[in-house]
Amino acid sequence: MTDFPANSGSAEDLLAKVALGDRNAFRALYEATSPHLFAVALRILRKREWAEEALQDAYVQIWNKAGTFRPTAGSAGAWMSTIVRYRALDHLRRKPREEQAEEYHDLPDTQDLVRRLIDTTDLQVCFEDLTAEQQRAVGLAYIEGLSHAELSDRLDSPLGTVKSWVRRGLQALKECLTR
Amino acid sequence: MKLENRQLQDLLAGEYVLGTLRGPARDRFERYLQDSSELQQAVAFWETALAPLARCPAQEPPPQLLTAIEKRLGWHPAPQAGGWKLPWLPSLAFALVAAFSVLLWAPWEARLVPDFSVNVATEDGALQLQAAIDRTHNWIDLRLVSRPPLSSDRDLELWLLVEGEAPVSLGLLPEHDGSVQRIEARVSLARAQGLAVTVEPAGGSPTGAPTTAPIAVQLFPTT
């Protein structure tokens, strides 16, 4: 006979309950995850108002799609941050970033961030296979949602060069992660 | 855009997840994505692989955002439009809306909102089952997340643990991961203490009682 397992409140558990229509679990999930997801949206959209809209879109989708989450395919946090990124990118599609529209200046440097956050995952090991330029290009594109043209501006390098950093960076990651 | 080439597929999927695939190319990719399981796999690979990059310092969203989300999900009645000319009309209207809200909204709430949910799982996680318990209607909504592999002459049976009584069978668990089903309990869920799963001969316990010790047990929260 097994012990009685504790009914823990991990994001995975909460998401499972959300899939069954449990509104209180949804509220608990929101409380636990929204500061993180809001930060993800804010880094891409840089306007609080837009990030709030993207966050709303994301949680509506999380409520509707919770049943499609598969714990075997990754963490609940990864699944949800993927959703919020897509909603933020959709937002950029509808309302391209205006020049100088940034309300949000106190961001820590993305490159520092990339270094700090890839410390405990497979990605760290593999990220080391990339050149510094490739790391910067892939990291900035992911975290800030920058297009090739924006990367080219930010990294002060020709468009073709930047595209190749992204492409080769992805190829190196793929090779390393599937080795 | 030729998508037969595997390397090109991986690359496009990577740029799609990264966000550097933009404009018409992104729209086109999303159309291909709908029908191609290979592309879906490639996208899933990158979503998982790159997700650690999304870990950035938290930022609190404004406090009213959750309410806005709940409104969009239809959990709150829509606010009434303004523009009243008579001073007493708003309060009358409010009273009417409130009365109708109670009439229309309350049964709907009760139907959809379970009292609580529990997860029933083995320690290794091979069996994972979510159950939402609705005491008002005396039913349990089940979702099977995963089940352990079993030989063909065995089935998994779900039991309701009732205070001071023998476990009551709730039937066999579905065969397929992801299945959802509603079970109407034959005994009052108000007296139920938890759920358990046992491995039984194919078709379920021949005796009507568990023939083996449970592989997973989950007690209900005490109210």
Phi, psi of A30 (to 5 degrees): -60, -50
Which pLDDT value is given to residue B209?
A: 83
Identify all chain A residues contacting B66, using CB atoms and an 8 Å cutoff. 27, 30-31, 34
Pair B118, B220: CB distance under 8 Å: yes
What is the predicted pLDDT for the residue at B69? 94
> In this predicted structure, what is the pLDDT of residue B92?
55
pLDDT of residue B81: 44
Instruction: Considering only the beta carbons, identify the residue of B46, B59, B117 that sits closest to A42.
Output: B59
Query: Contacts of residue A162 in chain B, CB cutoff 8 Å?
Result: none
This prediction has a pTM of 0.60
Distance, CA of B168 to CA of A89 (rounded, Å)? 51
A124-156 per-residue burial string, b: 16 or more CB within 10 A, e: under 16: eebbeebeebbbbbbbbbbbbbbbbebbbebbe
As given in the structure block, the two tokens for residue A14 are 């909460």
**Distances B195 to A4, B59, B130, B181 between C-alpha atoms, Å:** 10, 39, 11, 15
pLDDT of residue B79: 47
Centre a 10 Å sphere on the Cβ of residue B171 and count the other Cβ atoms it contains.
Answer: 13
**Count of residues making up chain A:** 179
Which residue's entry shows tokens 């997860």? B119
Stretch B185-190: mean pLDDT, rounded? 82
pLDDT along chain A (179 residues), means of 10: 42 89 91 94 91 95 90 86 94 72 53 58 72 90 92 93 96 88
Query: Residue type for B82, please?
Result: G
Percent of chain B with pLDDT over 70: 81
pLDDT at residue B112 in the model: 54
Q: Hey, what are B49's tokens?
A: 């692989």
Contact A71 B112 (CB under 8 A): no
Contact yes or no for A123 and B20 at CB 8 A: no
**A143 touching B (Cβ < 8 Å):** yes
Report, in angstroms and rounded to the nearest whole number, the Rg of chain B calculated over CA atoms. Answer: 25
> Quick one: closest CA in B to A33, which residue?
B58
CB atoms near residue B33 (< 10 Å): 18
The arithmetic mean of pLDDT across residues B168-195, rounded, is 84
Q: Select the residue of A2, A35, A124 nearest B217 (Cβ to Cβ).
A: A2
Nearest chain B residue (CA) to A150:
B20
**Chain A neighbours among B 23-82 (CB < 8 Å)?**
23, 26, 44-62, 65-66, 68-69, 72-73, 75
Cα B102–chain centre separation: 27
B14 vs B178, residue with greater confidence: B14
Amino acid A6: pLDDT: 32
Pick from A5, A114, A117: CB nearest B218: A5
Q: Convert the pLDDT of each residue in B80-123 to its tens digit.
A: 444 444 445 555 555 555 555 444 444 334 345 678 888 898 88
User: Looking at the partner chain, which of B23, B123, B143 has a beta carbon nearest the beta carbon of A2?
Assistant: B123
Taking 70 as the threshold, does the pLDDT of residue B195 lie above it?
yes
Question: How many CB atoms within 10 Å of residue B100?
Answer: 11
pLDDT score for A129:
84
- How close B216 comes to chain A (CA, Å)? 6
For residue B107, the model assigns a pLDDT of: 39
What is the pLDDT, as a whole number, of residue B205?
85
- Residue whose entry in the numeric block shows the structure tokens 């609705």: B134
Search chain A and give the residue with CA nearest B41. Answer: A73
Asked if residues A72 and B96 have their Cβ atoms less than 8 Å apart, the reply is: no
Cβ-based contacts of B46 with chain A (< 8 Å): 170
What is the C-alpha separation between B140 and B19, in angstroms, rounded? 42
Chain B contact set for A71 (CB, 8 A): 125, 128, 145-146
**Tokens standing for A163?**
């595209």
Q: Which residues contact A157 (CB under 8 A, 6 or more apart)?
A: A133, A165
Residue whose C-alpha is closest to residue B174's, from B116, B109, B128 = B128
Average pLDDT value for chain B: 80
Q: Enumerate the β-bridge partners of residue B141.
A: B132, B182
Residue B164's pLDDT is what?
Answer: 76
Mean pLDDT of B153-161: 89
